[in-house]
Amino acid sequence: MEDELEKLAKQAAKIAEKVPDKFQEKCFEILFQSFIAGRSPSQAPPEADKAAAKDEASPKPSAEFVVPIDVRAFLQQNNVPEESLPKLFLMQGTEVRPTYKIKTTKKAKAQIQIALLTALENALRGGKFEFDTENIRQRCKDLRCYDSPNFVSIFKANTALFKSLADVVHVELSPDGRAELAEAITAIAK
Domain boundaries, the chain: 2-57, 69-188
Give the pairing of strands 130-131 and 95-98: unpaired
Alpha-carbon torsion 156, 162, 166, 167, what sign?
negative
Residuewise pLDDT in 10s, the chain (190 residues): 677 778 888 888 888 888 788 778 887 788 878 777 775 555 444 544 444 444 444 444 457 889 999 999 999 999 999 999 999 999 998 899 999 999 888 999 999 999 999 999 999 999 999 999 999 999 999 999 999 999 999 999 999 999 999 999 999 999 999 999 999 999 998 8
Task: Please tell me the distance from the alpha carbon of residue 66 to that of residue 81, in angstroms, as a whole number.
Answer: 15
Q: Is the pTM of this model over 0.75?
A: no
The alpha carbon torsion through 161, 165, 169, 174 (nearest 10 deg) reads -30
Fold of the domain spanning 69-188 = Arc Repressor Mutant, subunit A (1.10.10)
Q: Where are the beta strands (DSSP E) in the chain?
A: 89-92, 95-98, 130-131, 171-172
Q: What DSSP designation does 167 have?
A: S
Question: Quick check: helix, strand or coil at residue 150?
Answer: helix
Cα 37 to Cα 8, 12, 30: the distances in Å are 11, 13, 11
- Give the chain's length: 190
135 contacts 121 by C-beta, under 8 angstroms: no
pLDDT given at position 56: 46
* Burial annotation 61-93 (CB, 10 A radius, 16+ → b, else e): eeeebeeeeebeebbeeeebeeebbeebbebee
153 contacts 134 by C-beta, under 8 angstroms: no
